[in-house]
């Protein structure tokens, strides 16, 4: 199954989590441990892909680019088991070959078996013999351009911590739906229902689930008591500190976590350029009992907004970005992103900021956020906007000193804190 998932991700450029969820739903595995193993194999082999490929190149008699997707997926899964899982070497090799035969590739079984057997003779994962950049690329499986960029922006210690954290499994965090229940009430109810969990460290609405299994079967899901949302993503809306009952525009609403968070206390107009993404927000808001507080509409926030939308007390821009702060959740992104994407997406972000600033009422709030660690998409973006918009000023929220901030803005970074990387700025329109 893991071979099919990785091959499909490679062939279609789809997101790993989407393909994995689809395949798991199709296969309907009875034992949750089997689903857990497939998940570990798929995410682990993807996170460590550059490391695995470096090892494979030493033993393969052909370029990896010429190997069929499913065969290459099997090789990566085999090497991942050999060096990153507690699997006996003979089992790692034998099970991988058997899995390849199970997907109808008996003809490649000998080729894969030969390579994995030779790799299994290594006493341990080979060490990098390159310079600092090469070592980090190999050890953490990140492209060289990103390693260099993070070293320059954050320094060796923090950059190394970020690179390492991207290879950790992220926790499952939920946000209490405060239109129905408080965080403390939900925590007590989950604990009573036998769900292993703990309050999030920074988000006042967050609860971290330990080994949750199938989310849809947990207490409170059907009742709409909570929604899955990473703690750092929750902090964006907490940091925004938008007054209750304000009329709010969520300008880039998909997949809908922040729109539903805002709708717990506000009237929200949620727009997105992709009409096909709106039904998911619709379904989630209905499950949470928030649909009456949400207006959904297809609109491109980088273009002049429909006059029918009017003006807003607050506008949240969760802008399209490189997603460099979410590489532990979307490990395939690190291999797809190019450094040139940063400039291209920064230009789009500026267009969205320009258009959305026009619909903020005087005295209202403009909140800009990205799930990226890059300064070009965060602090630099806001500095450029403020230079050309003297009617806006930075206004940090009050009473939230415990949140991780930088120059008055919210900033979370991957690392030992266990958070995704987010940036958010809170701006006030003075006139």
Residue 30 confidence (pLDDT) = 67
Q: What is the mean pLDDT of residues 311-339?
A: 97
* Pairing state between β 392-394 and 422-429: antiparallel
* pLDDT tens-digit series, residues 243-253: 999 999 999 99
- CA-wise closest residue to 155 among 2, 332, 420, 375: 375
- pLDDT above 90 coverage of the chain, percent: 91
Place of tokens 């199954």: 1
* pLDDT tens-digit series, residues 89-119: 999 999 999 999 998 999 999 999 999 999 9
* Pairing state between β 360-370 and 312-318: parallel
Q: Would you say 311 and 360 are in contact if contact means Cβ atoms under 8 Å apart?
A: yes
Q: What is the mean pLDDT of residues 147-162?
A: 97
Q: What is the mean pLDDT of residues 353-365?
A: 98
Q: What is the mean pLDDT of residues 297-309?
A: 96
d(CA 202, CA 175): 12
d(CA 278, CA 33): 33
Residue 135 confidence (pLDDT) = 95
What confidence category does residue 34 fall into, taking pLDDT thresholds of 50, 70 and 90? confident
What confidence category does residue 183 fall into, taking pLDDT thresholds of 50, 70 and 90? very high
For residue 161, count other CB atoms closer than 10 A to its CB: 17
Identified catalytic residue from 42, 197, 356, 371: 371
Rounded to two decimals, the pTM is: 0.93
Residue 28 confidence (pLDDT) = 78
Q: Would you say 236 and 424 are in contact if contact means Cβ atoms under 8 Å apart?
A: yes
d(CA 400, CA 405): 10
pLDDT at residue 29 is higher than 80 = no
What confidence category does residue 130 fall into, taking pLDDT thresholds of 50, 70 and 90? confident
Q: What is the mean pLDDT of residues 379-394?
A: 97
pLDDT at residue 198 is higher than 80 = yes
What confidence category does residue 25 fall into, taking pLDDT thresholds of 50, 70 and 90? confident
DSSP-derived letter for residue 172 is E
Question: Is domain 172-228 in CATH 3.30.70.1170, yes or no?
Answer: yes
CATH class of 2-120: mainly alpha
pLDDT at residue 383 is higher than 90 = yes
Q: Would you say 394 and 408 are in contact if contact means Cβ atoms under 8 Å apart?
A: yes
For residue 331, count other CB atoms closer than 10 A to its CB: 23
Supply 378's token pair.
Answer: 């965060």
The domains of the chain are located at 2-120, 132-165, 172-228, 235-429
- Verify whether residue 197 is a known catalytic residue: no
CATH of domain 235-429: 3.40.50.150
d(CA 380, CA 3): 42
What confidence category does residue 292 fall into, taking pLDDT thresholds of 50, 70 and 90? very high
pLDDT at residue 32 is higher than 80 = no
Mean pLDDT score across all residues of the chain: 95
Q: What is the mean pLDDT of residues 260-289?
A: 97
Q: Would you say 250 and 193 are in contact if contact means Cβ atoms under 8 Å apart?
A: no
pLDDT at residue 79 is higher than 90 = yes
Q: What is the mean pLDDT of residues 26-55?
A: 90
Residue 317 confidence (pLDDT) = 98
pLDDT at residue 331 is higher than 70 = yes
Which whole-number Å values give the CA distances from 60 to 25, 48, 64, 142, 391, in the listed order? 34, 18, 8, 22, 61
Lowest mean pLDDT among 31-40, 148-157, 271-280, 370-379: 31-40
């Amino acid at each position: 199954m893991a071979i099919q998932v990785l091959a499909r991700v490679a062939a279609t450029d789809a997101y790993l989590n989407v393909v994995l969820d689809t395949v798991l739903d199709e296969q309907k595995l009875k034992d949750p441990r089997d689903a857990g193993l497939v998940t570990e194999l798929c995410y682990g082999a993807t996170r460590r892909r550059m490391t695995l490929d470096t090892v494979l190149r030493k033993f393969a008699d052909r370029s990896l680019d010429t190997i069929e997707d499913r065969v290459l997926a099997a090789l990566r899964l085999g090497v991942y088991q050999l060096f990153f899982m507690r699997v006996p070497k003979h089992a790692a090799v034998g099970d991988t070959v058997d899995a390849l035969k199970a997907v109808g590739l008996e003809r490649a079984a000998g080729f894969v078996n030969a390579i994995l057997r030779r790799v299994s003779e290594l006493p341990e994962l080979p060490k990098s013999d390159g310079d600092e950049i090469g070592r980090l690329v190999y050890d953490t499986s990140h492209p060289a351009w990103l390693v260099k960029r993070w070293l320059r922006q954050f320094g060796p210690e923090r950059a190394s911590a970020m690179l390492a954290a991207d290879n950790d499994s992220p926790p499952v965090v939920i946000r209490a739906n405060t239109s129905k229940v408080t965080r403390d009430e939900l925590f007590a109810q989950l604990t009573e229902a036998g769900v292993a969990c703990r309050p999030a460290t920074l988000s006042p609405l967050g609860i971290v689930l330990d080994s949750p299994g199938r989310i849809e079967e947990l207490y409170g899901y059907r009742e709409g008591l909570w929604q899955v949302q990473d703690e750092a993503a929750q902090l964006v809306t907490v940091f925004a500190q938008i007054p209750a009952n304000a009329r709010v525009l969520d300008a880039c609403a998909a997949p809908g976590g922040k729109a539903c968070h805002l709708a717990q206390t506000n009237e929200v107009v949620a727009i997105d350029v992709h009409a096909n993404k709106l039904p998911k927000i619709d379904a989630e808001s209905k499950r949470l009992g928030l649909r009456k507080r949400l207006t959904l509409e297809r609109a491109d926030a980088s273009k002049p907004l429909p006059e029918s939308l009017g003006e807003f007390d607050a506008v949240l821009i969760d802008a399209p970005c490189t997603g460099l702060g979410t590489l532990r959740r979307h490990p395939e992104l690190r291999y797809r992103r190019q450094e040139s994407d940063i400039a291209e997406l920064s230009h789009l972000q500026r267009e969205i900021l320009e258009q959305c600033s026009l619909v903020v009422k005087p005295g209202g709030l403009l909140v800009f956020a990205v799930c990226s660690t890059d300064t070009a998409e965060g602090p630099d973006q806001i500095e450029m906007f403020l230079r050309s918009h003297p009617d806006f000023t930075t206004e940090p929220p009050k009473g939230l000193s415990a949140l991780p901030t930088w120059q008055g803005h919210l900033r979370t970074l991957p690392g030992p804190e266990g958070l995704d990387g987010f940036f958010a700025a809170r701006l006030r329109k003075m006139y």
